[in-house]
């Protein structure tokens, strides 16, 4: 399918395995319907420290929707995220930041591909670990 080759795809290790995450309008709209009137841009602001800290359920649901957009079934995505303990919440928050970042600014992946450094997995896939944005607050609920 053409959309899968042109959309920004993030690959992250979740549950001990590399997983594809992709948000398209359908997944974003599902998030907004679930949490109306809270929208994706309000969540974006929270992730980056503008307003209150994001709720764990919002972070986990966005990751599950990203997994669905990446090709996983709804049930498997829910089970994968549910199997992760609370110790994974800070990391899931970082993944949510990257996922929304490449969703709204896909050119960041193209620029990163041009600047590829020593074996990083950047391009249509984003690197994990050292490139993670720092959470805005050390006292976050996530």
Where in the chain are the domains?
25-132
Question: Residue 12: phi, psi to the nearest 5?
Answer: -135, 155
Query: What are the residues facing 19 on neighbouring strands?
Result: 12
Query: What are the residues facing 113 on neighbouring strands?
Result: none
- Omega within 30 of 0 (cis) for the link into 37: yes
Residue 75's Cβ-side half-sphere holds a number of Cα atoms within 13 Å equal to 0
The pLDDT tens digits along the chain (142 residues) read: 444 446 678 999 999 999 999 999 999 999 999 999 999 999 999 999 998 999 999 999 999 999 999 999 999 999 999 999 999 999 999 999 999 999 999 887 776 666 665 554 444 444 433 344 444 444 444 4
Report the Cα 122 to chain-centroid distance in Å.
15
As a whole number of angstroms, the distance between CA 26 and CA 30 comes to: 6
């Amino acid at each position: 399918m053409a959309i899968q080759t042109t959309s920004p795809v993030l690959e992250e290790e979740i549950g001990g395995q590399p997983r594809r995450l992709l948000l398209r309008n359908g997944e974003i709209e599902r998030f907004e319907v679930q949490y109306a009137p809270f929208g994706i841009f309000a969540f974006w602001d929270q992730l980056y420290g503008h307003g209150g800290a994001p709720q764990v359920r919002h972070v986990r649901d966005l990751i599950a929707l990203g997994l669905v957009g990446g090709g996983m079934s709804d049930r498997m995505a829910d089970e994968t995220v549910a199997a992760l303990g609370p110790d994974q919440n800070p990391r899931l928050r970082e993944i949510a930041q990257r996922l929304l970042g490449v969703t709204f600014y896909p050119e960041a992946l193209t620029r990163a591909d041009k600047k590829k450094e020593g074996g990083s997995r950047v391009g249509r896939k984003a690197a994990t670990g050292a490139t993670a944005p720092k959470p805005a607050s050390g006292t976050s609920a996530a």
